[in-house]
A and B are shown apart, each in its own frame.
Chain A
Amino acid sequence: MQRRILHIDMDAFFASVEQVRDPRLAGKPLIVGGAPEDRRGVVSTASYEARKYGVHSAMSLTEAHRLCPHGIFIRGNFEFYREASKKVHAILGRVSPLVQMASIDEAYVEVSGSQRLFGGDDGIAAFIKSEVFRQTSLPCTVAIAPNKLVAKVGSDAAKPDGYVRVAEGSEALFLAPLPIAKLPGAGPKTCEALELLGVRTIGDLAALPISRLLAAFGPMGYALRRTAQGVSTSAVETEHIPKSIGRETTFPKDLLDWKHIERVLHYLAEKSLYALREEGMEAQRVTLKVRYADFSTYTFARTLEQPTALDSDVFAALHELLPRGRERPMRVRLIGVSLSQFTHNQHQLPLFCGQLTAKWERVLESVDRVRGKHGFECLRSCQSMALGRDVKLATPALSR
């Protein structure tokens, strides 16, 4: 059986979701990442109309506003994106049980065994594209290739609303004309070094004698050449464990009011913990991140004795870390929390006083069920409730 891997990438995902929710935004230059007054955040996603003006992800909002002054700037809402992502995930699950959600808006699917059922690559792609559009009205790009590497490059090249099929044996041929910057793993530094060797396209790299690559990159040279030839054996990982889950936000104005900062931190921690529990995980490490007015960024971390998914445990850890963040007598620009060192199904039960933990677990289970129905904002701790019912953060951390 030939190995066939599908890569699906949602086109301008956050912006497209917003355009579906509010049809007045359709066809307009839309920038998700922050409202016009939040000049300090970064662009999460720009619609294709906005990209024409040179706006792209990770660009500062100020810069985006300069390039596209008539653009529509919105903060975005992660809940809607996650909702849409779940729908897409479910559709992919109908094609094959082997689905790896690489992020909220892209996934790999092992479709080797689904060929007959859907009538080959073309049938699979057509089913997914039409079903995604029918259920979410969102456009996506699909690529099917003999491996993950070529599928990923393929969908990137076929955007937006595209489909590409790379047959077995023609991987190198497909990659050859593409610019070297499109090669996964080739960052700006590598590209610069490759250009000095006269490499412009992926094909140039594949044709380069290995001796020259080894001289320039050391053992990394082998990997570069393999990638350029479209060779990859990495499998679709269905059981992916994220490394960390966190939330952070940049304040509209630099702050010294630690009471307020603390409330925001509580809110961010609650959001992270909700996401953590949704994944069915427990975390053992809590990291507090503080960026000060001078852009210096500090992280303070604490490893807990036991992995936890309880709000109270993480709040306690953050309260131990906060005084260290306060030590620098400077205004705060950004605050964030991150949970890491995950385990699941590894909760060691205690001999003594287990009832209290068990009680909190039951409470949070109910809280999460209500949130699942009515949204995260509806049930929160007193600390974060002090921010008001609908929290509007300048730059919500939209990615995991």
Chain B
Amino acid sequence: MKIIIPKQDLLDAVNKVKSVVSAKSALPILSHILIEAEKGCIRLFTTDLKVSLECSVDCEVKKSGSLTVSSQRLASILSELPDADITIELGESNVIRIECGKIHTRLFSMSPDEFPPARQLEDVEPIVLPQKLLREIFDKTSFAICTDQARYNLTGLLVELKNGVLTAVATDGRRMSLYKESEGIIDGVNLKVIIPGKLIQELTRLLGDEGDVNVYLGENQAAFQFDALRLTTALIEGSFPNYEMVVPQKHDKQAKVSTAKFMEAVRRTRTMTNEKFNSVRFKLESGMAKLSVVTPEVGEYEEEFPVDYKGDPIEIAFNPDFLLDILKHIDTETCCLVLKDAMSPGIVKPAAESGVDKYINVVMPIRIS
């Protein structure tokens, strides 16, 4: 194999795919990138066996073929090379030559045959969605994905298509973020899959503002294709809890508050918590909200701010990190808090003018005595 390619083109492609590579894998080949050259184009592959990334770049292919190269090594060499065309050639015994003007590099490598074969997705029709929409949905929900591998079925994002509505749900068992979208979703496809958090993370990073994504959702795997990229993953097999059941329906205490003011107050309050005592008390009275923290051996904090509320007084406690995660992702000026009592879940959502909630967050309180 022999190719000639502008350095920056290759570096950009490497940077897109290298994030899935783990430096300390039990399988040494997984720290490598597979590069295949054919008909004026190269394709770069990386995988951690669960999530696979693929990126194609146009370039001059002198001789087709394939090679593997350590992703970390290649990225660091490329980033130090001058901005010019480079030649990459596979020689005898898996030795790779990288040449750039008067710079000659020889890299030892592994046989492309060792690289795990690419995942073959069964024949499914793609669902076409705008990149921007998909990124927004993932961004607004993925922070609630569980990171504890012991609760494997929660370590991904639930994506459900039903009656022309796409629903994305993430939860770690203590809070839940839910986004519903019906615009531009074709009716007729009904499915429910759990996409691993790692892939969602990669997608949020790679998705842009323009263009569409082809989403292939199969029985036990999924692929996302956009621009010159293709991401594939095994789906999480397991049952996702019944999310509809935990969305409170009969909460009667609703307050409207400035998102920015609320977020600033929670941020300030959080400076008084510590690892062991990480809760903020939230008191609602007519027209007024009070945030307070009492942390043993640290101190106390109290802040009041105006809210649009007319119901009975209520006091409830939340993990401030959960509130901040949510408030960061609400982009309306005013947000809405819906509560029932100190032991029942609270809802935090953008104040929707239409009365239809596209995006809601359910947070369980911290019990106070």
Contact = CB atoms under 8 A, between A and B. Distances in A.
Interface of A: 239, 241, 280, 284, 305, 341-343, 345-352, 354
A345 B362 contact: no
B276 A350 contact: no
A239 B276 CA distance: 16
Contacts of B279: 345-346
Give the secondary structure class of B's interface: loop
Interface residues of B, number: 26
Contact of A351 (B296, B319, B364): B364
B319 A348 contact: yes
Contacts of B175: 351
Given A341-B276, A343-B277, A348 B366 contact: yes
28 contacts: A239-B296, A284-B276, A305-B148, A342-B276, A343-B277, A345-B279, A345-B317, A345-B366, A345-B367, A346-B276, A346-B277, A346-B278, A346-B279, A346-B366, A348-B174, A348-B364, A349-B343, A349-B364, A349-B366, A349-B367, A350-B174, A350-B364, A351-B171, A351-B175, A351-B362, A352-B173, A352-B246, A354-B364
Contacts of A350: 173-174, 364
Contacts of A354: 364
B251 to A, nearest CB: 15
Interface in B135-183: 148, 150, 171, 173-176
Nearest to B276: A343
B241 A347 contact: no
A349 B363 CA distance: 9
Interface string B340-357: 000101000000000000
B296 A241 contact: yes
B49 interface: no
B112 interface: no
B297 interface: yes
Contact of B345 (A280, A347, A351): A351
B196 interface: no
Contacts of B319: 348
Contacts of A280: 369
A349 B368 CA distance: 10
A239 B345 CA distance: 30
B367 A351 contact: no
Contacts of B368: 345
Contacts of A341: 276
B246 A351 contact: yes
B241 A352 contact: yes
Contacts of A343: 276-277
Nearest to B342: A349
B147 to A, nearest CB: 11
Nearest to B344: A349
B365 interface: yes
A351 B276 contact: no
A332 B366 CA distance: 41
B366 A351 contact: no
Contacts of B365: 349
A350 B172 CA distance: 9
A348 B343 CA distance: 10
A347 B362 CA distance: 17
A356 to B, nearest CB: 13
Contacts of B278: 346
A351 B277 contact: no
A101 to B, nearest CB: 16
Given A280-B369, A348-B364, A350-B173, 7 more contacts: A346-B276, A346-B366, A349-B174, A349-B366, A351-B174, A351-B364, A352-B241
Contacts of B366: 345-349
Contacts of B345: 351
Q: Which of A341, A347, A349 has the most CB of B within 10 A?
A: A349
Nearest to A280: B369
A317 B171 CA distance: 25
Interface string B313-346: 0000101000000000000000000000001010
B230 to A, nearest CB: 35
A351 B343 contact: no
A210 B175 CA distance: 58
A284 B275 CA distance: 12
Nearest to A284: B276
Contacts of A348: 174, 319, 364, 366-367
A320 B279 CA distance: 30
B75 to A, nearest CB: 36
A346 B319 CA distance: 9
Contacts of A305: 148, 150
A241 B277 CA distance: 12
Contacts of A342: 276
Contacts of B173: 350-352
Contacts of B171: 351
